Amino acid sequence: MIRFPGTNGDLDVAHVLNRVVGLRADVVWHEKFEGEGYDAVVIPGGFSYGDWLRAGAIASRSPALKEIREMASDGKPILGICNGFQILVESGLLPGALLPNDPPRFMARWVRVKVLNTKTPFTAMYNDGEVASMPIAHGEGRYYIDDPISVNAVFTYHGENPNGSINSIAGVASGDGNVVGLMPHPERASEDALVPRGHGKGGLKLWLSLKESLSRGW
C-alpha cells in the first residue's frame, strides 16, 4: 500500500490483506517506495495532498508512480481505490477522468455494483454479472470518458447511479487487465463486523482474487 500525505485507507487495506486474507502486505511512504521485491501494489483511498488542484493530481507526479508504471508494464497487479483510482487516472495508467459528483456533493453510502469483467487479478473469483455491495465515500467520483464503449469497464453501479458516471461505470481496467481502479471501497466490505445486515461481504472476493492470482503467478 502506498501512503501519500492525506491517505486514510492504507491501514484498512493492510488489515484485510494481512489478517483476513493472509497475504503479507506493507504500508510504504510514497517517497521511499521501490517496486522491486513487491508482487502487487494498492493505492488506497483518502485525500492525497488535500485534493488540491484536482483529486489525485499532485500524487500522480510522485516518483512512486514511476515505479508503479514499471510494475504495470511488467504485468503486475495494480489497484487504485477511490483516491487511488483518481491517481491512476491522473497519471495516465487508466483512461478517462473523474469529475465532481452529479449532484455536486460528497457521498458516503452503500451501493451495489455489477461485475462485468472477471479476467483481472482482482475479479477472478467473482462470477460474470455478479452483484456485490460496497460503500462509496467521495466527492469527485463521476467517471467520464469521450468514448465509453472503448473503455474496459470492470464494475458498474447496479440499480442506481449515485454520482452520474457515464454508463454507470464504477471501475475500469487497463487493456490487459492488470491495472484496475474503482470508486467503491472493497476493504470496507470484507468483514462481518463492518457490513450492515443485508449487504454481505461484497469486497472480500476482490482480495481473495488477488491472493489466488498471485499464487498462480500473475
Mind telling me the catalytic residues?
82, 185, 187
CA angle 8-164-41, nearest 5°?
A: 35
Residue with cell 451501493: 111
Taking the C-alpha atoms of residue 47 and residue 32, their distance in angstroms, rounded to an integer, is 19
Beta bridge partners of 133: 112
The string over 136-160, giving b where at least 16 C-beta atoms fall within 10 Å of a residue's C-beta and e elsewhere, is bbbbbbbbebeebeebbbbbbbbee
Sign (positive/negative) of CA torsion 81, 82, 86, 89? positive
Give CA–CA dist 12/194, Å, rounded.
Answer: 11
Q: What does the DSSP 8-state code read for residue 12?
A: H
- Give the phi and the psi of residue 213 in degrees, each rounded to 5: -65, -40
